[in-house]
Amino acid sequence: MSKSALADFAAMQRKYLFEIEQGEKRPTVNAIFSLCEALQVEPDEFFRQVVARMKALQKESPRQ
């Protein structure tokens, strides 16, 4: 799914989605749930994947 299609399915502006992706904005809970619905992923599964990815990134680049 393209980012434009994701934004459309989640009923959010493409610019807002881009700003979230770039770390310029923090998504609201409503935005997260809309994205999960558009991606057909349950929010709890979404957050499990986020946590797993964050742990993997921390292992790749440990703090000095």
List the chain domain ranges. Answer: 3-60
Specify the amino acid at residue 10: A
pTM score? 0.78
Average pLDDT of the residues in 43-61: 93
| Rounded CA separation 9/37 (Å) | 8
User: Residue 60 — pLDDT band, cuts 50, 70, 90?
Assistant: confident
- On whether the 3-60 domain is CATH 3.40.640.10, my answer is no
Confidence of residue 63 (pLDDT cuts 50, 70, 90): low
- Between 51 and 1, where is the model more confident? 51
pLDDT attached to residue 64: 56
User: What would the DSSP string read from start to end of 18-38?
Assistant: HHHHTTSS---HHHHHHHHHH
